[in-house]
Amino acid sequence: MKTNGIEIEVIKGDITEIEVDAIVNAANNRLLMGGGVAGAIKRKGGPSIQKEADEISPIKKGEAAITGAGNLKARYVIHAATMGVDFKTDQSIIREATRSALGAAREKDIASIAFPALGCGVGGFSPEQAAKIMLEEVVGFTWYNRGLKKIIFVLFNEKAYRTFKEVFKEHLDRIKKKIERHPVPAVDIIIEKDGAIILVERKNPPFGWALPGGFVEVGESVETAAGREAEEETGIKVRELKQFHVYSKPDRDPRFHTISCVFTAGTEDEPKAASDAKKAEFFREGELPDEITFDHRRILSDYFKSRKGK
């Protein structure tokens, strides 16, 4: 696979045997190289890697640090802190660790890099979801890349290899089309009934609760897209659709730059989760879930303030 001049390869193998400029270690933030990928790197690369890591430890979860590669075929090891010493990780840490590792490669003018499946060993994260997150970060990175020419994803077991291969084959072109070099138009819908708002729990990363919504398709108006997305995710045909505000901060969506036209609507129906939603439920202002993704907490705050001002 290739995107914006960078070759992307998915292989089954041992990352310590790959001939690239840098390999990525799925590290803990103390950079202690015990088991899994880190242990294999330490055994084959020799004690110098851990010694260098000790000198720069600890780092924050999601950050990355570079050491030499000792006796390995690579020149560098990029230690991407995918978890703490408690082995706990999540989608945000995996996304940030991938981004940090790519940034470290750019700083060193590295031309080729090999990644393992971050967070999928002792971290216990889903290989399918990790593949989606890492692919999104890689494709986003390619638009701002300077010298990187090749990225290899090295999976140690057959199941992870097949999962990454299938995810990349299915999603690469879709992500490329969405990102391109322009912001992606999107819609979000605030559906209200008796003072409560519908939120959906997402099946795909970024995980968490969100307003119903999605991307505007070619040939659609934003109004048509809002009605379609509301029905697809909640089963509700909305009424009294009105524009609320436009939200366009470049970092509002952790995957890529989106511009969302937010609508309000009313309903008398009960939601039924469908499409990308695992659940669809009503929430009141003082009972919102803790994990709300994108910038939807800010959108809801703006909306509730506007309602109080009437």
Going by pLDDT thresholds of 50, 70 and 90, the confidence category of residue 143 is: confident
Q: What is the model's pTM?
A: 0.81
Torsion of Cα atoms, 56 then 58 then 62 then 66, to 10°: 20
Largest CA distance in the chain: 69
Pick the residue with more confidence: 176 or 53?
53
Is residue 255 helix, strand or coil?
coil
Residue 308: both structure tokens together: 């109080």
CA distance 27 to 64: 9
- Kindly give, in sequence order, each residue whose CB lies less than 8 Å from that of residue 308, ignoring residues fewer than 6 positions away: none
Residue 310 predicted with pLDDT over 70: no
Mean pLDDT score, 269-279: 90
What confidence tier does 31 reach under pLDDT thresholds 50, 70, 90?
very high
Token pair of 129, please?
Answer: 């979801």
Residue 20 CA to residue 24 CA, distance in Å, equals 11
pLDDT digits 0-9 by tens, 214-239: 999 878 999 999 999 999 999 999 98
Which ranges of 110-206 would DSSP assign to H, the alpha helix? 127-142, 158-179
Q: For residue 84, which phi and psi values (nearest 5 degrees)?
A: -90, -175
Q: Which two tokens stand for residue 231?
A: 């029905």
In this prediction, residues 264-287 reach a mean pLDDT of 93
| pLDDT range class, residue 140, cuts 50, 70, 90 | confident
Does 309 have pLDDT greater than 90?
no
Mean pLDDT over residues 115-127, rounded?
A: 94
For the segment 104-116, what is each residue's pLDDT rounded down to a tens digit?
999 999 999 999 9
Domains of the chain: 2-179 (3.40.220.10), 184-308 (3.90.79.10)
| 278/260 Cα distance (integer angstroms) | 22
Write the CA distances from 52 to 6, 64, 74, 83, integer angstroms: 30, 14, 16, 19
Closest CA to 81 of 114, 47, 58: 58
Residue 78 banded pLDDT, cuts 50, 70, 90 = very high
